[in-house]
Amino acid sequence: MSLATYLTSLEQAAEAAAAAEHAFKVEAEARGRSLAAARAEAFRRMNFLKGLAQSLDGVEDLEAAAASAQAYLRNRLGWEELTPARQDVMDQFAGVGRAVGAALAEQSEAATGEAPAEPAAAMAAFEAWYSATRETSFWYLFEHYIPETPLVDF
């Protein structure tokens, strides 16, 4: 093998190593962003549901739990006005409130005539509904602050 051929092969090996390193860094960065997003969503879910459970502690019945859960959600999102789209979210979220309320009250099948929904299943169903109807994660609502728009009279 000539020296020119050998130097060309070394140059190609160095370029291949640089390309492999670059590809790895791009993949690692994407994986890091994915893991950070998963972590943020997990902590949002945990903190949100801990707060929800605290707000429902001592609620007497499932409909009161649903209403309290809806109030908690409105407060957390800063929804002063309910548009039809927001009302749809509130209506769907009521099931999560009932499930958390039932779990807190430890209601039995005998007391209600039916098994209470598990909070994890109710939250998963709500998140799946939200994702399917809004084409984004429910937790995305907590990432963006939307300032009040001042009303202007002309």
Domain borders along the chain are 40-142
What are all long-range contacts of 69-74, with beta carbons under 8 Å and residues at least 24 apart? 69/93, 69/94, 69/96, 69/97, 69/98, 69/100, 69/101, 70/94, 70/97, 72/97
Residue type for 70, please? Q
The predicted structure's pLDDT at residue 143: 81
The predicted structure's pLDDT at residue 142: 85
Which residues in the chain come in under a pLDDT of 70? 107-117, 144-154
What is the pTM assigned to this prediction? 0.74
pLDDT digits (tens, 9 = 90+) for 108-146: 444 555 555 699 999 999 999 999 999 999 998 888 655
